[in-house]
Chain A
Amino acid sequence: MRQLVWRRFRRHPGAIMGCIVLSCIVLACTLAFLSPYDPYKSNLSERYQSPSLEHPMGTDALGRDLMTRVLYGGRVSLAVGFSVMVITLVIGVPVGAIAGYFGGRIDNILMRITDAALALPSLLVLILLGAILREVDAPFLKSNPVLTIAFVIGILAWMFTARLVRASYLTIREMDFVSATRALGGSNFRIIVLHIFPNAIGPVIVEATLEIAYAILEESGLSYLGFGIQPPTPSWGNLLSNAQEYLVKYPWLAIFPGLMIFLSVISINYIGDGLRDAFDPHKVLTKMGEV
């Protein structure tokens, strides 16, 4: 099964390109400390330099090397994306699994909660939460901006995973192997975790991958508006927050951070697409039918 998925995934050119580009971005961000420049220290004699060999992406209003800041910002943005994925999985998978497996009243209660969360206008609530958290004076929140923002985004995004998982569990729990396990005396917990979950994992992996891209976009928008990661900590979004004022004279400040968001999001989306095809058993049949 695993080999089959990998074989199908390999045949998706977009997904492979996505993997390559994303690996390059992740690698560059991890190796950002090799840069000769400091991402925080201002250097007023070198303000607003246009892109050159010394500063491939130019310098910003405080004379800091933009490329160094973009790479450090990438760590933050990618970390937010990854944390949101983990948070949506941690909330969404158990909720969906329990609701789908047990059904009845538990299902009803959990799904009503999910519906209520879905009825919230998510972007508006996100902005509100961002505006509030900006003023909370808790040391934990201040020292862990990534986790804070990831939590805010994740708490408004787990519902989709929950619904997806519930749908899979609803189908799989009726299958014979589940009845067989139950007849052999397998506990509910064992069935949910060890028997059904491996069979429901495909769509969850796809959804989780796309969740990273979605979270990177959300974080960048939120930080762009000033409600996300607060400067001086760089993130791809807040590097753009003053870009509109600089647009006339210093356009590179607006171009490069956005380009990085775009490249990583499109890579992740292609990887997600490749995974979807790879996990979808019908896909190969239809393609073969047409060829």
Chain B
Amino acid sequence: MGHYVVRRLLQAIPLMFIISIFLYALVNLAPGGPLAGRGTSKRLNPEQIAILKRQFGLDKPVCVRYVYWLIGNDWTKMVEEIPAPGVGISSTIIKCIDPRTYLLTESQGIGKGVLRGDFGNSYRTRKPVLDSIKTAFKNSAYLMSITLTIVAIIAIPVGVISAVKQYSIFDIIVTTLSFIGQAIPEFWLGLILILIFYVWLKNPLTGDPLLPPGGMYTQGMTFSLIDWTKHLILPVTMGVVGWVTWYSRFLRSSMLDVIHQDYVRTARAKGLTLNKVYFKHALRNALLPLVTIFALDLPYIFAGSLYVEILFSWPGMGRLYYQAAIDRDYPMLMAILTIITLVVIFSNLLADIIYAKLDPRIHYD
């Protein structure tokens, strides 16, 4: 097992390397780019573009940029613009590119490179991308953990019961609902939820909309549990529908495999109650493949639920990525893509390891 893990980890390194080259080329070589002037009302003039290019290091060939991105540039001299005396650093691009406010100097590079945990600064905010990612990740994890808890509470009993009572009315209803749940486009479900709970249904006492249409909390309000909960209901519902149908269907088929096996019959023959047989003996084994599936789904949890976050203006990873894709914020895009790819590779490994740990019949060599 130890050897197996080490070998898989060693295999992951070249894989990660190749993927990072591919992603870097894709992000950096694409036409358009961050300086095409989207999102700003002013078109940039060539002089301003030249300055921005130097500031972002885009004047270097792409292979040099990749090396700097990977291992940093603090071992080499960089031409750098520093603010002229008396001019503060402004966060917006337009203000930063007035040539009079900058002086050219040559100084030591400061980028440490991805291998040393430095993903660079965002083009948009000019702050370290990892800071934004940390905040966004917390918000995504908050939403996701609540969503997944509810998913587990619903999916496990539903999956077990519909397997135990295969072809019963309950099973038929559940199966139909799961077909419906999987066919609804996620973002459309969100739109319909907003339509029902924000536009149509009103609070009978105050006449306000029943639920807020977005955000994590009401702006400018002090923390209140009710307010935060109200903001959670719609995004969580939107996320839960997709995950519940996916997991309950999976658990149903995995339960069906298990309950026809001999040891379940033995347990029943011993006179155990049905509840005990199904929920204790059978469920344990039926959950085995589910653990693997869950490990494989980890990247989606890290990436946050893109459509939920965009629809409900939830400041998480998905929305951060969406904004970065629109801005072509190279460091931000590369940081998120790299982190999520790492999570994908490691969760694949994790799935295999957990499976072998839980099921003694499986051996890797």
Contact = CB atoms under 8 A, between A and B. Distances in A.
A116 B23 CA distance: 12
A119 B311 CA distance: 27
A209 to B, nearest CB: 13
B183 A121 contact: no
A110 B120 CA distance: 35
A176 interface: no
Interface string B332-350: 0100110011001100100
A255 interface: yes
A273 B325 CA distance: 36
Given A127-B321, A247-B195, A136 B337 contact: no
A220 B185 contact: yes
Nearest to A270: B179
A269 B199 contact: no
A100 interface: no
A188 B276 CA distance: 55
Given A131-B326, A266-B183, A124 B192 contact: no
Interface stretch (A42-50, A64-72, A257-265): A257-265
A132 interface: yes
A121 B344 contact: yes
Interface in A107-166: 112, 115-116, 119-121, 123-125, 127-129, 131-132, 134-137
Interface residues of B, number: 45
Q: In the complex, which range does the number of interface residues on chain A fall in? A: 35 or more
A92 interface: no
B32 interface: yes
B15 A262 contact: no
A247 B27 contact: no
A262 B188 contact: yes
Given A124-B303, A221-B307, A244-B194, A131 B337 contact: no
Interface in A229-254: 237, 240, 243-244, 247-248, 251, 254
Interface string B188-208: 100110110011000000000
A225 interface: yes
B26 interface: yes
A217 interface: yes
B186 A221 contact: yes
Interface string B1-18: 000000000000001001
Q: Which of B30, B184, B185 has the most CB of A within 10 A?
A: B185
A14 interface: yes
B187 A269 contact: no
Contact of B322 (A125, A225, A265): A225
B19 A225 contact: no
A128 B27 contact: yes
Contacts of A258: 184-185, 188, 191-192
Contacts of A254: 188, 191-192, 195
B212 interface: no
B182 A269 contact: yes
Given A131-B325, A243-B191, A251-B195, A119 B344 contact: yes
Contact of B303 (A123, A213, A269): A123
A258 B187 CA distance: 9
A224 interface: yes
B180 interface: yes
Interface string B284-325: 000000000000000100010011001100000000011001
Contact of A262 (B184, B310, B311, B348): B184
10 contacts: A119-B345, A121-B341, A121-B344, A125-B23, A125-B26, A135-B30, A217-B185, A220-B187, A221-B307, A240-B187
Given A131-B328, A221-B307, 10 more contacts: A112-B15, A125-B23, A131-B32, A131-B326, A132-B30, A136-B32, A237-B185, A247-B191, A255-B195, A258-B191
Interface of B: 15, 18-19, 23, 26-27, 30-32, 36, 167, 179-180, 182-188, 191-192, 194-195, 198-199, 299, 303, 306-307, 310-311, 321-322, 325-326, 328, 333, 336-337, 340-341, 344-345, 348
Identify the 9 closest CB pairs spanning chains A and B, nearest first. Answer: A258-B188, A135-B32, A266-B183, A132-B30, A265-B183, A121-B340, A131-B325, A254-B191, A119-B344
